[in-house]
């Protein structure tokens, strides 16, 4: 008898999506087991015995794991495919990486910088789930200036919609040409969080770049290019 696992875990083990996104796929009616549509998250399958289809295509366990860092340019969506046919981050790798990989978390269409891609759902879970508090550092260029009070508010946590952000590390780096450059480190990953945090203190982000995730840095990787993570980087992110 093969190992029995939850359906969402199996989908993640096959490198199709992170466990959380796999749950959404199930709820959205994209997954069948042995020909039967499954929408319940508690469903378990037997590896090797049950046939799982995503979007009517059979999936199988990913044999080799991929861990990739991309320097995402502005103008790409952080998904595998886009309903509006915009270019996706996967398009930037598909000529060279033939395995199915997906982005670990998300950078906005108008944000550039460090984006990880993988076919390892557990790795994606480890890096993105808020309970692990993995730091993400951004360089934000804001229009105009920011007050001392604004910086203090960002450091303490600001109210965005229905929640208050955790304390952030914030450092003003530069101010010239009508733009102020600020380095900000957060460990949460709400939708457009950095932009909304600045909005909450009356500032508008003109440019946003992610430069590191934990101690893994973008370095001098050119815009639009990618590289494999080192085993040291993978182990560090898995265990940090």
**40-50 burial, b for 16+ CB within 10 Å, e for fewer?**
eeebebebeee
The site for ligand URA (CB under 6 A) is made up of 107-108, 111, 192-195, 208
Between 108 and 135, CB nearer to ligand URA: 108
Between 2 and 202, CB nearer to ligand URA: 202
Between 8 and 111, CB nearer to ligand URA: 111
Q: How far is the CB of 154 from ligand URA (least distance, A)?
A: 13
Quote the crossing angle between the two packed helices 121-128 and 231-239, to the nearest 10°.
Answer: 60
Q: How far is the CB of 62 from ligand URA (least distance, A)?
A: 27
Q: How far is the CB of 220 from ligand URA (least distance, A)?
A: 21
Other C-beta atoms closer than 10 Å to the C-beta of 2 total 10
Residue among 50, 108, 122, 135 flagged as catalytic: 108
Between 8 and 78, CB nearer to ligand URA: 78
174 is catalytic: no
Q: How far is the CB of 174 from ligand URA (least distance, A)?
A: 20
Catalytic residues: 108
């Amino acid at each position: 008898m093969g190992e029995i696992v939850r359906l969402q875990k199996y989908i993640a083990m096959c490198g199709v999506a992170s466990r959380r996104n796999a749950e959404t796929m199930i709820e959205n009616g994209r997954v069948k087991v042995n020909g039967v549509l499954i929408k319940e998250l508690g469903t378990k399958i037997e590896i090797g015995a049950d046939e799982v289809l995503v979007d009517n295509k059979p999936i199988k366990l990913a044999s080799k794991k991929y861990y990739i860092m991309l320097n995402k340019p502005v103008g790409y969506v952080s998904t595998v495919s886009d309903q509006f046919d915009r270019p996706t981050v996967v398009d930037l790798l598909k000529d060279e990486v033939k395995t199915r990989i997906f982005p670990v978390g998300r950078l906005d269409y108008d944000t550039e910088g460090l984006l990880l891609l993988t076919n390892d759902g557990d790795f994606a879970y480890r890096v993105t789930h808020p309970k692990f508090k993995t730091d993400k550092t951004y360089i934000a260029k804001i229009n105009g200036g920011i007050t001392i009070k604004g910086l203090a508010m960002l450091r303490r946590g600001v109210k965005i919609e229905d929640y208050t952000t955790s304390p952030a590390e914030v450092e003003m780096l530069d101010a010239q040409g009508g733009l102020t450059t600020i380095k900000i480190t957060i460990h949460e990953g709400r939708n457009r969080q950095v932009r909304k945090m600045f909005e909450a203190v009356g500032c508008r982000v003109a440019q946003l770049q992610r430069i590191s995730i934990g101690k893994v840095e973008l370095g001098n990787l050119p815009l639009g290019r990618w590289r494999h993570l080192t085993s040291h980087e993978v182990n560090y992110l898995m265990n940090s």
